[in-house]
Amino acid sequence: MVLRSYLKEIRLQKGLTQESLAGVIGVTRQTIIAIEKGKFVPSVKLALELAKALGQPLEQVFWLEASQEDRS
């Protein structure tokens, strides 16, 4: 299973920059970039903080998707 997110879409919808979102939850801008690109899987705590900062339920921001290995 791989973690997918609508983080970028929701962030842009809310008119937030990567830097401002990073500032709200106290992480680096590079961490926001890495999560948006799917290169970093955040902890449950950070995922909940992101969802809260964006005013969305967690499952609206992140979800699990079956990977190629899971399908075969």
Partner 1 sequence: MTGMSLYYLSRAVISAAFGLLFALTGSPWWVAALIGVIAFAFFLWAPHSGRYAVHPELGVTALRRDERTQGINDRSARNAFIVTMLAVAGATLYFGRYTPAVVPVSFFNYLLILGVLTYYLSDFLQRRSA
48 binds partner 1 (CB under 8 A): no
Least Å distance between CB 40 and partner 1?
Answer: 5
Cα 20 → chain centroid: 14
Burial (CB count <10 Å: 0-12, 13-18, 19+), residue 42: buried
* Binding residues for partner 1 restricted to 11-30, rule: CB under 8 A: 22-23, 26-30
31 binds partner 1 (CB under 8 A): yes
Q: Determine the Cα–Cα distance for residues 67 and 56; give it in Å rounded to an integer.
A: 25
User: In a 3-state reduction of DSSP, which class is residue 3?
Assistant: strand
Options 15, 43, 57, 72; binder of partner 1; rule CB under 8 A: 43
Binding positions for partner 1, rule: CB under 8 A:
22-23, 26-31, 34, 39-40, 42-43, 46
